[in-house]
Structure 1
Amino acid sequence: MEEAVLYAVENHIATITMNRPKSLNSMNDGLINGLHDALDKAEADSEVKCIVLTGSGKAFCAGGDLSYLNGLTGTAAKKAFIAKVGDVAKRITVMEKPVIAYVNGVTAGAGVNLMLACDLVYASSKARFGESFAKVGLIPDCGGLYFLPKAIGVHKAKELMFTGDLIDAPTAAALGMLNHVCDDAELKDKVYEMAGRLAASAPLAIGLTKKYLNNTALTLDEVLAIEETTQSLLMGTDDCKEGIAAFYEKRPPAFTGK
């Protein structure tokens, strides 16, 4: 049986591929467990500096596998699975390493919210997006009630979630859900070009920037206090010294994460 999630590392970039193409990479227990395992590997590997999340075939992720969900018996089993799905989104947001969503096609339901959990989103111009939960009598999960209004505002989030309507990639980009929309022929190159840039960046600075940007509950005074403490510590790191030296010497910096 083919693995539900594939994992590969090259040039300090871990690629995690959801691999259930016949079901449009919909989420069942195997796929979610596979995502957790892949994130474990990427997080533990000091050689990995950036993560790319994508799907095989013509979809990124079509959300929950309805046949699998329908087969779950009892509230406890259903609750455990939804919690495990949500934990994938949470892990992506709290891990220090940057995660790029490489959206190659159809993205619906929890797949949209998994995409939004990532730090950057690159999508095919042919991709379509739908918060389709209400059409099957459900509320958004995988962090959708948090991620979508944060990205596009509460009123537009309500519209997409209430209707479940599909939107195209240019519309999603205009709303603020995507960083870049690319033709299929250039999408992969653009994703890995950015992944390479992030992999070569200062990991301490990237990780801390991500941590504080994802904490939306901070007040201005709290942010200023964090900046004061964290910036003074980073100024003493080897990476900062290397970055300043490289600037003056007009060369690319060689960061080490120290």
Structure 2
Amino acid sequence: MVYETTSAEQKTVLAAYSGRTATIELNRPDAMNAMNLEMLQELVSILKEITVNEEVDIVILRGKGKAFSAGGDIKMMLSASNENEFHCVMDCISELVSVLYFMPKLVICAIHGAAAGLGLSVALAADYIIADPESKIAMNFIGIGLIPDGGGHFFLERRLGEVKAKELIWEGKVLDARQALEKGLIHEVAGETLDKAADRKRQEWLASPIQAMIKTKKILSENNRPTLLKILELEKNAQLKMRKTNDHKEGVKAFLEKRKPVFTGK
């Protein structure tokens, strides 16, 4: 039985259940699934529901439309003008990443189009990432004078090592799926359609001793819990300082004016 739990006209995140699988779809296609506060809150709520759903073993996370997620919504960044609003957004991001990373389910993230900034941080919290060959993958906070958040430092350091993580963050380059695979950012480039590749992985896991796999995930993630939570707090505090810099203001202005920013280091 397959059934939807949300309405596409009203929700920025959709959830559907089929057997032992929950499929979550980011649903702001007109904004390339850029994450605003509403989407973040809805995603946290759905993930919490799935976390306690004993009938679900596998979660597939994907985006509707032309992209997985272009990152944080620039309008949200501009509207979070005071520290209380900023902390609300950052706390929601931290909760989202924590719930996703620690949930006792196996999570497949299926990337197509853009997976950038916060969108990439969220994808990296999954257990297995499959990307369409035409995907564009970037940790590009540097382009607007910010640092990665959503645990980006934590996930990149574990996948790439400290030296390569700094390189990727500082350069902010856009990678294609093959380059991302070669660096170890993702696990697989879809050799068929993305849907078929994700379903093949899902079927492989469903035919495995999945409770043993989940237990391994829980042991390793719980061991990492103090570090992830510490990094999320460090990111929040550092991001607040970065938002006050001239370089960030110039980066946002240049983005909106569709030109190359001129940074001064201040």
TM-score range, shorter chain: 0.7 to 0.9
Could you say what secondary structure the match of 1:61 adopts? coil
Work out whether 1:105 is the aligned partner of 2:91: no
Question: What's the counterpart of residue 191 of structure 1?
Answer: 198
Question: What's the counterpart of residue 227 of structure 1?
Answer: none
Cα distance between partner residues in 2 of 1:69 and 1:123: 27
Larger Rg: 1
After superposition, residues 32-71 of structure 1 pair within 5 angstroms as 32-71=40-79
Cα distance between partner residues in 1 of 2:48 and 2:224: 25
**Change over 3 Å in CA distance of 1:37–1:199 after alignment to 2:** farther
Cα distance between partner residues in 2 of 1:206 and 1:43: 16
Cα distance between partner residues in 2 of 1:93 and 1:2: 27
User: Residue 200 of structure 1: CA displacement?
Assistant: 4.1
Count of aligned residue pairs for this structure pair = 217
| Percentage of matched positions with identical amino acids | 32
The answer to whether the 8 Å contact 2:114/2:136 transfers is yes
2:26 corresponds, among 11, 18, 38, to: 18
Cα distance between partner residues in 1 of 2:77 and 2:216: 37
**Change over 3 Å in CA distance of 1:200–1:44 after alignment to 2:** farther
Structure 2 letter corresponding to 1:26: A
Cα distance between partner residues in 2 of 1:80 and 1:197: 39
Cα distance between partner residues in 1 of 2:162 and 2:225: 16
Cα distance between partner residues in 1 of 2:206 and 2:87: 36
1:9-29 CA-to-partner distances (Å, cap 9, x unmatched) read 113110000010111101111
Cα distance between partner residues in 1 of 2:225 and 2:97: 18
Q: TM (normalized to structure 1)?
A: 0.80
Cα distance between partner residues in 2 of 1:78 and 1:54: 26
1:37-61 CA-to-partner distances (Å, cap 9, x unmatched) read 2112212222111000000111111
Cα distance between partner residues in 2 of 1:15 and 1:93: 16
Cα distance between partner residues in 1 of 2:47 and 2:75: 26
Structure 1 letter corresponding to 2:202: A
Runs of at least 4 residues off by over 2 Å: 196-204, 212-218
Question: What's the counterpart of residue 137 of structure 2?
Answer: 129
1:49-80 CA-to-partner distances (Å, cap 9, x unmatched) read 10000001111111100112201131121012
User: Residue 110 of structure 1: CA displacement?
Assistant: 0.8
CA RMSD of aligned residues (A): 1.7
Consecutive unaligned residues in structure 2, runs of 5 or more? 1-8, 227-266
After superposition, residues 1-258 of structure 1 pair within 5 angstroms as 1-183=9-191, 185-214=192-221, 215-216=223-224
The answer to whether the 8 Å contact 1:13/1:196 transfers is no
